[in-house]
Amino acid sequence: MARAHVLGVPRIGPNRELKFAQEACWRGEIDEAALKAVASGIRQANWRQQHAAGLDFVTVGDFAFYDQMLNHVALLGCVPERFGFGERIALSEYFQLARGNAACHAMEMTKWFDTNYHYLVPEFKPDTHFALDPGGLFDEVTEAQTAGFAAKPVLIGPLTFLWLGKEKAAGFNRLDLLDRLLPVYAQILARLKAQGVEWVQIDEPALALDLPAEWRSAFERAYHALNGAGVKLLLASYFGPLRENLLVALKLPVAGVHVDCVRGGDELAQVIDWLPATKVLSVGVIDGRNIWKTDLNAVVDRFEGLHARLADRLWVAPSCSLLHVPASLAGETAMDAELGNWLAFADDKIAALSTLKTAFNQGRQAAAAELSANARALASRGASSRVHNTAVAARLAALTSIHDVRNSPFAVRQSVQRERFKLPDFPTTTIGSFPQTPEIRHVRARFKAGALGEADYTTAMQNEIGHAIEKQEALGLDVLVHGEAERNDMVEYFGEQLSGFAFSQNGWVQSYGSRCVKPPIIYGDVSRPRPMTVAWARHAQSLTVKPVKGMLTGPVTMLQWSFVRDDQPRATTALQIALAIRDEVADLETAGIGIIQIDEPAYREGLPLRKADWAAYLEWASRAFRISASGVSDATQIHTHMCYSEFNDILPAIAAMDADVITIETSRSDMELLRGFGEFSYPNEIGPGVYDIHSPRIPDVEDMTRLLEKAAQVIAPDRLWVNPDCGLKTRGWAETETALANMVAAAHTMRQSLQSAIR
């Protein structure tokens, strides 16, 4: 009998209950007991759903108040010593690790593999030690068992945990900590065994990466050490094929292996050939990262023979955790019915697993109605006339090499732009957005609901733009922004105005902590029917003599932060978006906007996990950006922004984007990320972030000056800009003004130092 399970589910609640409770707790409006009650309610609802669908286990340990890697930092007792918290931490201290406090900046945050989810990066030193936290995970197991559910706890495996961390001291390899870490993992497994747990899912997605030989060989040593704990281990890898790591995974002394058959399906024949006769094989056949319905009939066709061979050793599952998709379509009352019938959110994917389990165990006829409905939905999508646009296809076919290069090399453009803008040394700017106050959100909500007319809405937003311009001029910033009061989200705002995009009402997914995003759905060919930002930018520029940046989201980020159609190559969709953005850039230039920022924070995120696959991606991603940016004169300055990613290994491709100015996140790494740009001799101008906007901590002038001094040691001062790490929409005005005033003061300090050095 085939079994069915999930690797994890969304943890924010169907209506973002966790987000609102977290933020209320941070504001002091509810206490920790109330927050924990909300969390318990979400967990219980998730477990009931899995149980009702006939899954063989409920997954426990996939919940986090902020992040699953941060959970493991707490579970394993390896909190960074700089916080001074000790081995066991309270919930308030847990949040300080993620958000910082008056004395310490927050732990570094970066992307979880190639997703838009962010995790907190563990910090390792030669003297890092580990100690088991007896609460947390074990309490949740008890909670599930008390409610009558068969619990399958999930852990991040020891090798992946170490791999995803960073050494915070020179001269040692974090892999050297493995022998110190394994006894704590053994304690965890032993304690779970004592609680009556049969299976533990242990996630090692690092197996989908290019691993050094010493890391690959460490897997055997690690899992032999854990083999005696008495619980059955399901080793789970996902996000891609295992390639040279496949045999490593299959030979480990574990009771079962989960493989991603969506992204790594070509390896299935090898998996079957090499799978030991006693091991469970969990096949990830439902896409855990996208929202299109799976062809269930094709899954049954593909795996029914294998089920006949393996029987109860075959488990069916999503490819990865469902953390990356929205919770439910149930509330999507306004969605187009045809489109909605093509989609599957987390609850639909769990129901699909139930259908597959029935089809395998009781025969196709037992699931005939569900399989037939699934086939009709797929046929509807394939035959729909709304998906393809011949004009878009013709424009794409007409692209040549002249469409992705600027008129002149950077040195020529730089000279022209400096003459035009006459900016001081260390010019100051921000990344784009300013605080989204409750008043702004209220006006926007009323307009969207039809309770406010367009003229009144426009007036209200123009007033907010005026307020932002006034504040920036008072602060003394050199290059201004309009503040983006009219924008709900940097991708959704543009997607709402482009053909080929659709939107959910409540399709939220977690990006990090309490930050949730509602990705657009790209279902068809993309084009721009009309200008999207020109009127707002023109109004902002009319209020000041200083340059105001036009603010756009780049094609790769639009692609990465959307649920993308799966019926054509992603590169094709990216180029369609690039042409739409190119039209907007041209219209902004015509309207007199001399500096245009095309944000690409997801550029690194889109990089394939294996280096052998990088070149093809970087070629089309870089070209897509250049197509969006290259239709302007030398005098128009193109900026881009990237954040919370490692850039040093793709610097040639970033340089190939040929933006005049790039701004990057560097404050959490204490300018560490900038060093690679210096070693590479990055040719264009760069603005390393000196202010971490994701933390409530406001750095002082000395902090920012110190970071700028470090930056000036690796990048020529005449090519350095001064800016925050990211946009300021989530901050309040009081803290924003204080921080930006400090930033401007730090820039003045640097200018004075530079002038003194010249004299």
- Tokens of residue 495, six digits: 């997607």
Q: How far is CA 758 from the centre of its chain?
A: 44
- CA–CA gap between residue 319 and residue 7 (Å, rounded): 8
User: In the structure encoding, which two tokens stand for residue 234, read together?
Assistant: 């399901």
Any bridge partners for residue 641, and if so which?
A: 663
Cross-strand bridge partners of residue 501: 522
**Alpha-helical runs (H) found in 195-295:** 213-226, 246-251, 268-274
Residue whose C-alpha is closest to residue 150's, from 181, 119, 195, 182? 195
Integer Cα distance of 302 and 261 in angstroms: 11
Burial class, 20, CB count within 10 angstroms (exposed 0-12 / middle 13-18 / buried 19+): middle
Q: What angle do CA 592, 598, 604 make, to 5 degrees?
A: 170
Reported in sequence order, the residue ranges of 445-527 that DSSP labels E, i.e. its strands, are 499-502, 509-512, 515-517, 521-527
The helix (run of H) or strand (run of E) holding residue 375 is: helix 368-383
Alpha-carbon torsion (36, 38, 41, 43), positive or negative:
negative
Both tokens of residue 225?
Answer: 């050490």
| Cα atoms found within 13 Å of the Cα of residue 669, Cβ hemisphere only | 24
β 109-111/118-120 pair status: antiparallel
Residue among 415, 409, 403, 411 nearest 635 (CA): 415
Q: What is the bridge-based pairing of β-strands 256-260 and 232-236?
A: parallel
Residue 202, burial from CB neighbour count under 10 angstroms (0-12, 13-18, 19+): buried
Cross-strand bridge partners of residue 283: 259, 316
Distance between CA 67 and CA 95 in Å, rounded? 10
Two tokens at 132? Answer: 């088991």
Say how many residues make up the chain: 759
Beta strands in 172-301 (DSSP E): 199-203, 232-236, 256-260, 280-286
How distant is the alpha carbon of residue 471 from its chain centre?
Answer: 31
> Which has the closest alpha carbon to 432: 553, 252, 582, 271?
553
Closest C-alpha among 722, 697, 725 to residue 711: 722
Q: Residues 380-405, buried b or exposed e (16+ Cβ, 10 A)?
A: ebeeeeebebeebeeeeeeeeeebbe
The answer to whether residue 694 is catalytic is yes
Distance CA 666, CA 66 (A): 22
Residue owning tokens 């091991």: 279
Enumerate residues 6+ apart whose C-beta is below 8 A from 332.
340, 504, 505, 506, 507
Number of H helices, E strands in the chain: 27, 22
Q: Which of 72, 105, 324, 694 is catalytic?
A: 694
The structure tokens listed for 32 are 């920790």
Partners of 278 in beta bridges: none
Q: Distance between CA atoms of 62 and 639, rounded to whole angstroms?
A: 39
247 to each of 157, 164, 213, 264, 314, how far by Cα in Å?
A: 18, 22, 14, 14, 19
Q: What six digits make up the tokens of 112?
A: 């979880």
3-state DSSP assignment of residue 170: coil
Query: Which residues are tagged catalytic?
Result: 694
